Each structure stands twice: as C-alpha cells, then as structure tokens.
Amino acid sequence: MECPCHSGKTYEHCCGPYHKNRKLAETCLALMRSRYSAYALDLPDYIIKTTHPNSPLYEKNLEAWIASIHEFSSTTEFQGLEIESFDDRHVTFYAILKTFGKDTSFREKSLFEKSEGFWCYLKPLFFLQKSQADD
C-alpha cells in the first residue's frame, strides 16, 4: 500500500519500518512523517512513544490519551501532507484533513527533541487551523 504520509513511496519503504520498531527515525522530518501516518493508521502507541516525556502535550492518563487519538484517527481523513520547510530540529508542514466531512487542515511548525537518544515530538511553535485563517 501507498504510505499514508503521502510521500509517494510504499508503506514498507517509508513509515512502516518505524511503526514496526524495525528502524528508528534518523531525522525529525522522518519522525514527523511517521507520526502523521501513525495518526492516519490509528496507532496510538506509536504517537505516545514518540511524544517527548517533557512535552506539554504528554498526557499522563494513557487510557484517555489513547481514546482521544483513536477518536481523532477514526473520524478524520488524512488527505495530504505538505512539508514547507525543515531543519535538524524543526518541521513546518501543512496537513490536509477532513473531520466529519469538515475541513480541519492546519499549518504547524513543530519542535523536536531527543529523549534517550531517540527523536521525539516536543511541541508546536506555531499552529494555525485553516478554518481560523479563513474567518
């Protein structure tokens, strides 16, 4: 199957090996793409594993966190991902999403940090939902 991160590659040659613990993301860009596809495939464990323990978005109630990821993943169509810019710790992207048929696309600049040697998502430095921008 084609990778849900919209790289144009097959899942096996893109995010699959990260999700299956066969490979670690060498860059924060690869990690970001693999988190997008993990949301698309409803893989809450991978999202949790790749969220930095010091992240303000790290949810201590794992059960509630898993439920909210599952709800987001199961009600959202992950229609596109455009990488606008990136460097060794940041990725700015535009995620094209539809939730219950409504456009929930957003633009974000994410900050990444290593935890125990692995790249993790730390927090958004900038977040703007398309519907907010249109208003």
Contact residues toward Zn ion (CB under 5 A) are 3, 5, 7, 14-15, 33, 37
Contacts of residue 34, defined as CB under 8 A and 6 or more positions apart, other chains included, come to: 5, 15, 18, 19, 25, 46, 50
The residue among 58 and 86 lying less far from Zn ion, judged by its C-beta, is 86
| 77 three-class SS | strand
Q: How far is the CB of 15 from Zn ion (least distance, A)?
A: 3
Give yes or no for a contact between 112 and 120, defined as CB atoms under 8 angstroms apart. yes
Q: How far is the CB of 81 from Zn ion (least distance, A)?
A: 9
Give yes or no for a contact between 119 and 112, defined as CB atoms under 8 angstroms apart. yes
Q: How far is the CB of 33 from Zn ion (least distance, A)?
A: 5
